[in-house]
Structure 1
């Protein structure tokens, strides 16, 4: 098996490459320096030249607030770039795994969203990721769509690292308490992705660590796991204005995943594992 991973310098792509290396699976990790995903010729030429059996497409425009401003660039990366990669996969007869997001849903209600629920994004980032899904489904038969949420890992920026940095500077932090979802550790998700691409169990999946919490509860757990004495104050999301709307309910049902693959551990175990293996972030 020969694997090409896009977005290899992002937090998830980095861990997918790391896992492939550990398992001695032939691969290449690529990022902006290798080719411009918004350039059709560059993208297809690189992929067709490497001839992968699998494309793991982690690359994306992920700045949710800035996406509302840089709509054209966001569209080019998340929709057109995905289309170019999928067209190359089709030409090669390769599998493709596309990383998507909880933001394809509108966040209404309190029940976890199933893979069969109709997407209805409430911000532009979510809209482009959903359109990316549609490009993959339209062009390929051998695809995996993996929706995930609240991702954190050792490489790149994320909520966990932000909280740990703020905790070094402040005794009290205010965190939104009315948005719910599942934190997802890239180390756990990367392992699942590599297991997934070895199979022909194609389709759409929701893949997060088990369990649900609010951002407020997540922040409290981060400080508890790192033994930092920081008071976390719950606030309403209306008190924390952002350029893009966020779904209040980002819970994802893992029913389809757990029927076919080993489920990821509870997010509480994942955060303790992350803190234990990355102590440099709390020093």
Structure 2
């Protein structure tokens, strides 16, 4: 049985891949966290892959990342270790054992100045340290191992971990009103759907850059409003401008991804973000969210 290695096993995507692994009986999954495989340490990566061959791993899904967008502005070094050095180390050893690497990236590699969805070939121009490290990580992976897949996605959420969905669900239960930015536009993506896409990529013979998110577009205000509505909470969601909610890192004003290339290549059913959100809320109602 062929094995798929998953790094970043404790994160949103890692947890969803773990759920998926219980359903996929034709492949074996191996999950590792930072304590088992520290991607930022070349020594750790080398030790992990010592004596490993292509018969050990069909592919590797890199779900590990430094995602603290604002903190990265003050701690560039840590962000670079995880988002640039880590993927480069992993790409080198994936190539050495003949395993395909699936590296997950972000819409934040773009500056947000477009008014139409971004294509895979559009010029990258990140406006934050986080975005710059993710962009450099993409480049380092493809430079070392061109047969890899870079999978860019956006606004990832799930019931696991710290994310916008869980934060809004918690706060809207506690507060009478929430002020949420309404002039940043993107596409919310459920981590469970992203996990299925990563799996499809991992067993494919494809390479290069692909974009995936759930269908449709939204502002953070739109997303928050629908979360509150789906849970049935009586909390007013108030739209505000980015200038009214200052952050250390700049965010793209528009970062919708064009998924046409993905649709033509992978046979994975996709749904509108609202449909996916309401399905998820029905599943998690009554559960304690993190």
- Scaled by the length of structure 1, what TM-score is found? 0.96
Matched, 1:275 2:253: no
How many residues are aligned here? 282
Matched, 1:37 2:43: no
* Deviation larger for 2-11 or 33-42: 33-42
**In the alignment, is the contact (CA less than 8 A) between 1:142 and 1:200 conserved in 2?**
no
Q: Distance in 1 between matches of 2:15 and 2:288?
A: 18
Alignment partner, residue 212 of structure 1: 217
Alignment partner, residue 48 of structure 2: 46
Deviations, residues 1-50 of structure 1 (Å, cap 9, x unaligned): 21111101000112113212321321211111213222101112213455
- Kindly report structure 1 stretches of 4+ aligned residues shifted beyond 2 Å: 47-51
5+ unaligned residues in a row in structure 1: which ranges?
Answer: none
**In the alignment, is the contact (CA less than 8 A) between 1:257 and 1:263 conserved in 2?**
no
Q: Distance in 1 between matches of 2:8 and 2:176?
A: 36
Q: Distance in 1 between matches of 2:131 and 2:76?
A: 12
User: Of 138, 157, 166, which residue of structure 1 is paired with 2:162?
Assistant: 157
**In the alignment, is the contact (CA less than 8 A) between 2:17 and 2:195 conserved in 1?**
yes
Matched, 1:129 2:130: no
Alignment partner, residue 232 of structure 1: 237
**In the alignment, is the contact (CA less than 8 A) between 2:225 and 2:237 conserved in 1?**
yes
- Scaled by the length of structure 2, what TM-score is found? 0.94
Alignment partner, residue 256 of structure 2: 251
**In the alignment, is the contact (CA less than 8 A) between 2:190 and 2:276 conserved in 1?**
yes
Alignment partner, residue 7 of structure 1: 8
How far 1:103 sits from its partner (Å)? Answer: 0.3
Q: Distance in 2 between matches of 1:83 and 1:48?
A: 17
5+ unaligned residues in a row in structure 2: which ranges?
Answer: none
**In the alignment, is the contact (CA less than 8 A) between 1:48 and 1:92 conserved in 2?**
no
Deviations, residues 217-239 of structure 1 (Å, cap 9, x unaligned): 11111111111111110000011
| SS of residue matched to 1:5 | strand
Matched, 1:82 2:84: no
CA RMSD of aligned residues (A): 1.3
Matched, 1:147 2:148: no
